A and B are shown apart, each in its own frame.
Chain A
Amino acid sequence: MQKGGFNFDLYQRNVELIEKNNYKVPKTTKTGTTIVGVVFSDGVVLGADTRATSGPIVADPNCEKIHKISDYIWCAGAGTAADTENTTGMISLQLELLSLSTGRSPRVRTALTLLKNFLFRYHGYISAALVLGGVDFTGPHLHMIHPHGSTSTLPYISMGSGSLAAMAVLETGYNSKMGEEDAKSLVHQAILSGILNDLGSGGNVDLCVIKHKSMEFFRNVDTTNSKRKFRKKLPYMFKSGSTKILEKEIEEKMRKMEIVNEKESQIEELEEL
Chain B
Amino acid sequence: METYLGEKQQASQWSPYINNGGSCLAVAGDDFAVIASDTRMSLGYSIKTRYSTKYLKITEKCSIVSSGMQADIFTLHKVLKSRAQIYEQKHGKPMSTDAVAKLVSRLLYYRRFFPYYTFNIVAGIDDEGVGCVFSYDAIGTLERVKYSASGSGSSLIEPVLDNQVALKNRNDIKKEDFKLTKEYAIDLVKDAITSAGERDIYTGDFVEISVIDINGTHEEKFELRFD
Contacts and interface: CB of A to CB of B under 8 A. Distances in A.
Contacts of B222: 229-230
Contact of B47 (A161, A197, A230): A197
Given A56-B202, A199-B201, A32 B45 contact: yes
Q: Does more than half of chain A's interface fall in helix, strand or loop, or is it mixed? A: loop
Contact of B42 (A61, A199, A203, A229): A199
Question: How big is the A interface, by class?
Answer: 35 or more
Given A241-B171, A242-B172, A243-B171, A229 B227 contact: no
Contacts of B200: 56-58
Contacts of B170: 238, 242
Interface stretch (B69-77, B100-108, B121-129, B188-196): B188-196
Given A56-B201, A202-B227, A230-B222, A15 B7 contact: yes
Nearest to A195: B227
Given A161-B45, A198-B45, A242-B171, A57 B227 contact: no
Given A57-B199, A199-B45, A230 B171 contact: no
Nearest to A227: B225
Closest 6 CB pairs of A and B: A202-B227, A242-B172, A239-B172, A232-B191, A199-B201, A225-B227
Contacts of A229: 194, 222-225
Contacts of B224: 229-230
Question: How big is the B interface, by class?
Answer: 20 to 34
A152 B80 CA distance: 56
B93 interface: no
A206 B115 CA distance: 45
Contacts of B8: 19
30 contacts: A12-B6, A32-B201, A56-B200, A56-B201, A58-B198, A58-B200, A195-B227, A196-B226, A196-B227, A197-B46, A197-B47, A199-B46, A199-B201, A225-B225, A225-B226, A226-B225, A227-B225, A228-B194, A229-B222, A229-B224, A229-B225, A230-B222, A230-B224, A232-B190, A238-B170, A239-B173, A241-B171, A242-B171, A242-B172, A242-B173
B85 interface: no
A53 interface: yes
Nearest to B42: A199
A233 interface: yes
A156 B169 CA distance: 54
A234 interface: yes
A199 B47 contact: yes
A261 to B, nearest CB: 49
A56 B204 CA distance: 13
Contact of A238 (B172, B184, B225, B227): B172
A228 B198 contact: yes
Nearest to A242: B172
Contacts of B96: none
B158 to A, nearest CB: 15
B79 to A, nearest CB: 29
A161 B44 CA distance: 11
A201 B172 CA distance: 40
Contacts of B188: 232
Given A32-B45, A56-B200, A226 B171 contact: no
B201 A58 contact: yes
A61 B159 CA distance: 21
B172 A200 contact: no
A232 B5 CA distance: 55
A198 B8 CA distance: 33
B177 interface: no
Nearest to A225: B227
A61 B198 contact: yes
B199 A201 contact: no
Contacts of B198: 58, 61, 228
Contacts of B201: 32, 53, 56-58, 199-200, 202
Nearest to B155: A57
B176 interface: no
A6 interface: no
A241 B201 CA distance: 35
A195 B201 CA distance: 11
Contacts of A56: 21, 152, 200-202
